[in-house]
Structures are given as C-alpha cells and as structure tokens.
Amino acid sequence: MRGGKQLLLFAALILWVKCQQRPDVIIRPDLKNFFNGDLFYLICSNSGSTVKWYLNDVILPETNNTLRKAAASPADSGKYVCESDGAKSNECSITVHEYTPSASLTIETGGPVMPTKGAVRLKIENEDGLKGWMCKVNRGEETKTVKLKLTENSVSFVFQPTELKVPETIYWCTNSTEECRSNQITLWTTDKDVMLEMYPWPAVAGESLTLRCIVWGSDQVRKSVFLRNDTEISTVTGSTHTITIVDMSDMGRYKCHATYRYSAQTRKLPHQKDSDTQYLSVQVPPVRATLSKDMLCSCSSCGNDMPYRYYKKNGQSWTMLPKDQKPDRSGTYRCRAVGEFMRTLPSASVDYSAGVPLVGSLIGILVIVLLVGGAFVVYFAMKNRRNSQEAVYEDVGLQLRGEQNYEELQKVRGRGGEYDTLHPEASGTDRKGEYAPLKRAEMQEEEYHDLGAQGATGGDGGYEALQKSEMQQGEYHSLGAPGAAGGGGGYEALKKSGMQEGEYQTLDAKKST
Ligand SMILES: *[C@@H]1O[C@H](CO)[C@@H](O)[C@H](O)[C@H]1NC(C)=O
C-alpha cells in the first residue's frame, strides 16, 4: 500500500516536471472577453531565450517571450501557440469583439500620463446599473480587485485608486461574474515635468486625435514641438496638436518638446524640455450604429439579439430614452445597438423635428374654423343689435360683456369642446403619448447628466470628462488615498441615482424575459 502511494507520487512528480518544461501561453491581464482596443500581453512561460509565436498556425515575426497587443483588433482573434526549444504550448484561444464593452470607464480628474506617485480619479458608468460591480487593476504580474462602495442602483461611480507606482497600470471594471465589463484605462507614469497626452487612447482610425504637451505645475506653455519617430511633425503655439483623421500610418513613437514658464518664475528665459516617448497605437474603429433622419436605428453587422437604445441630447450630455421607446419629440438624438455584454459606438447625432400628427392638425384646423365662424356670428349679432338699438360705442362694450353675448361665446367654445369629446381617444392618446415621455425624460435628465462623457475607447468624448468639475469628491472608496473624506455633493448625486430605481427594475425585468 505504502509502495503504491510512493509510486503515485513519483508519477505525479514526473508529470509535474514535464508540465514545467512545456511552454504555456499566459494572458495578462486575464480578461474573459476581449474588445477592440484592449491592451494585453501574451507571455510564453517556461520558455528559453528565443520563442516562436503562432497565430492560427501561421508564424508571427515576434521572437520575444512576451507579445504586447497595444490595441487589439478582431484580426488578433485566433489560436495562439508559443514554441520554445522545440516544445509547443497548448493552444490559447482569443476572440476580440469588434464592439465596445457595455460599461464605460473614464478619467474624471488627472490624465493618462501622471507623475510617479500621482493619483487620478476614475468614473465607472453602466446604463444598466452597477450592482455587484468591482474594478480590477493590473500592474504587470499582478491583478488586484478594487472594491467599490456602491450605493444601491447607482449607474455611475467615481473612485480614486491608489497612487501610481509602476510605469504602466491598467484599470477596468467588471460585474461579479466578469462577463460584463468596461473598457480599459491605461495610465503611465513619468518623472519628467513635460508630459505628452493623447486622447483618445488608443487612437481610432478615421477619427481625430488630440495630442497635448502639458507641463506639470505650469499653464504657460508657449510653444510645443511634436515629434514622431524623432522627426518633427508639428510646431504649435500653446500645447495642443490635433490630427484630424487618424490612419494606421500615424502609429509610432511620439514625444513633445515644450517651451514654457512657471507663473512665479523670476528668470527671464523660458524653460525648454522634452517629454518621455510614448507609443501611439491605432485601433480599427468598433462597430457604429446608424440613425436615419426618420429615427430608425440600424446596424448591419449586429445580431438580432442586439436591441437599439436611443439617447436625446440635453445640453452637453445625453439622456437615455426608456427601453423600447423611440424618439417622438423634437430634439437631437443618437442611438446604439446593445447586446448582452457589449454594444456599438453611438451613431452620429441626428436632429429630429416631430411632425404634428395628422389627427391633431385636423382638430386644430376645425377648432380655428369654428372659432372664426363663432366670431362672425358674434359680430353680426352685435351689428344687428346696434342697428336696432342705435347703440353707441360704450354700450357695445358693455353689451359685449352682457349675458347674451357671453353665452354666445360660450356656445362657440362649447362646440369646440364637443368636437374634442367626439374623438376622445385621439386627443387622449396624443396627450399621453407626449406628456408621459416628457416627464420620464425630465426625471432621467438628472440621473444621466453626464452619460455623455464616455471612455476613450467608447469614443464618446472622454476628453471632456477630464475637464469636468470635481463635484463628486468623496465618492470613491478609500484605498489609503489622501482626501478620501468629505464631499457632500457627490453623495447627493448618488442619492439621486437611487431615485432611478423604478426605471432600472423595469429595464432589468424586461431584459430577463
Ligand atoms: C454579468 O454580466 C453578464 C453579461 O451581461 C450576465 O450574463 C451575468 O448574469 C452578469 N452577472 C451577474 C452576477 O449579474
């Protein structure tokens, strides 16, 4: 018996050694679903100094034991195998979706490039609520969970993660089973005073890209020179350079050179310094929905299981219409297709003017005709009376207010009213149809007032999010970060979110059926 056990142990040991020798493909961070624009690494563990990589049995040019995918695209989908010293790893399958994740993560304060030990505030938003959500942080080898102190039924939440310790930190948020998640936010640290920021990151082919050369502690950047692969591409007054339409050839190593002053500076000459070098990745554009002039949302490549959602513009932000509701009031709208754990980019915005419904306009015309007719009746009645009574002007005035005439007017109005009751359904539904959504839309306005600012990969204007006020200070879960206390404003914002409960429950209920 004892000998048997030893034999088993021995066999297990051999198996273990064998496993140790065999290379293995490890994904970092370990995501359940991959999306366009994701940053991840494939590592060939247990490998020698040189490695061969295969994607769908085709050899890749890379020979390092780590593959960096800076802006994943659907073309990166497939079976990965690495080979070292003649031994091949197991197949590692990856599917990169051409959509964007359901939730959006944006930088609320701070920027993608920060001084070492700097801290940013991130904002997670999910239209369907954040119940059970958490965030994840990857710093190379390790991935940790960031717990969120969520109030029930909140759809957005601002938190301040711990200070930035390593050159590259990746954040994303997920629901409890990790199937549903947000886009990633990647943060870099620099020890330089001059920083090059790129929005959005990764850049999206066909869209614009903003490069900013900013200086820590100074808002007086006089001149910025931007370089790609050490060649000057632009010199600007100030700190911003925009590439109107990005294409794949814009990829490369970027840096900037700033000429600037500090406000309290006494020396005459300005400072001149370089930023660190950053690699610009360009992603293929995720699927985008299309909204027609008559408010029909479409997405040719989306499956049938992706219903559409509509959003109405409210100032600078977008209000989601209740599920299954299409725009029926004048305004500026956009739409997107929304699946189980992913969605398209929102369509371009379209102005819509709700035409007056046919039944409504007929009623309107009839009412006008009756009123005009009524006025004539009154006029002739007056005229006759004046003729017979030789009334002076003052009398006319008096008699107009007299009972007889008043009744006549009443009758006219009464007829208008009668007409209404002849078509109770038409007018009734009209009003309901217009009034109820208005009320709902108003309620939502408060809840969603900053849904407009979405993730860099969401492409909805993450840039604006950076400039937003710090009103929600105090909402984040403290991870030993300074200034975690206080901030009544944010609490109220979350309480407001709670008001939305009804809306969400109905959405959820519908979804599950
Ligand atoms: C997480 O999201 C997925 C995809 O939407 C969903 O199927 C799953 O039920 C969610 N998990 C929880 C615990 O809600």
pLDDT tens digits for range 320-360: 999 888 999 999 999 999 999 999 999 999 999 986 655 65
Phi, psi dihedrals of residue 397, rounded to the nearest 5°: -55, -45
The strand pairing partners of 456, in sequence order, are none
**Which atom of ligand 1 lies closest to the CA of 340?**
5
Residue 172 domain flag: yes
Residues 247-276: pLDDT tens digits? 999 999 999 999 999 988 898 999 999 999
Q: Quick check: helix, strand or coil at residue 227? A: strand
CA of 43 to the centre of ligand 1 (A): 29
Domain of 332, in residue numbers: 292-352
- Residues 190, 271, single domain; the answer is yes
Residue-averaged pLDDT of the chain: 76
CA of 175 to the centre of ligand 1 (A): 7
CA of 497 to the centre of ligand 1 (A): 21
Distance CA(169)–CA(359), nearest Å, equals 60
CA of 512 to the centre of ligand 1 (A): 11
**Which atom of ligand 1 lies closest to the CA of 180?**
2
Question: How many CA atoms lie within 13 Å of 353's alpha carbon, on the beta-carbon side?
Answer: 2
Residue 480 domain flag: no
135 contacts 146 by C-beta, under 8 angstroms: yes
Whether 132 is in the pocket of ligand 1, judged by its Cβ within 6 Å, is yes
Strand 240-243 vs strand 317-320: parallel, antiparallel, or unpaired? unpaired
Alpha helices in 316-402 (DSSP H): 358-389, 393-400
Name the helix (H) or strand (E) containing 309. strand 308-314
- Residues 86, 150, single domain; the answer is no
**Torsional sign, CA 155, 158, 159, 164:** positive
CA dihedral 33, 35, 41, 42 (to 10 degrees): 60
Per the document, the length of the chain is 513
pLDDT grade for 13, boundaries at 50, 70 and 90: low
3-state helix, strand, coil in the chain (%, to 5): 25, 35, 40
Whether 511 is in the pocket of ligand 1, judged by its Cβ within 6 Å, is no
Which of 172, 177, 178 has the most ligand 1 atoms within 8 A of CB, as the residue to mutate?
177
Collect contacts of 424-430 with beta carbons under 8 A, ≥24 apart.
426/359, 426/360, 426/363, 427/360, 427/363, 430/357, 430/359, 430/360
Last residue of one domain, picked from the residues 69, 97, 125: 97
**Which atom of ligand 1 lies closest to the CA of 177?**
11
**Which atom of ligand 1 lies closest to the CA of 131?**
14
Residues 223-232: pLDDT tens digits? 999 999 999 9
- Residues 123, 257, single domain; the answer is yes
- Residues 76, 175, single domain; the answer is no
- Residues 79, 119, single domain; the answer is no
pLDDT grade for 496, boundaries at 50, 70 and 90: very low
Shortest CA distance to 217 belongs to which of 261, 153, 170, 169? 261
340 contacts 310 by C-beta, under 8 angstroms: no
Q: Quick check: helix, strand or coil at residue 344? A: coil
How many beta carbons lie within 10 A of that of residue 48, not counting itself? 13
- Residues 249, 222, single domain; the answer is yes
Query: Residue 180 has what pLDDT?
Result: 96
CA dihedral 68, 69, 71, 74 (to 10 degrees): 170
- Does 418 score more than 90 pLDDT? no
Name the closest-CA residue to atom 2, ligand 1. Answer: 180
Percent of all residues in the chain with a pLDDT value above 90, rounded to a whole number:
58
Query: Residue 385 has what pLDDT?
Result: 54
- Does 387 score more than 60 pLDDT? no
Residue 323 domain flag: yes
Two tokens, residue 512: 């599950």
Q: State the total domains in the chain.
A: 3
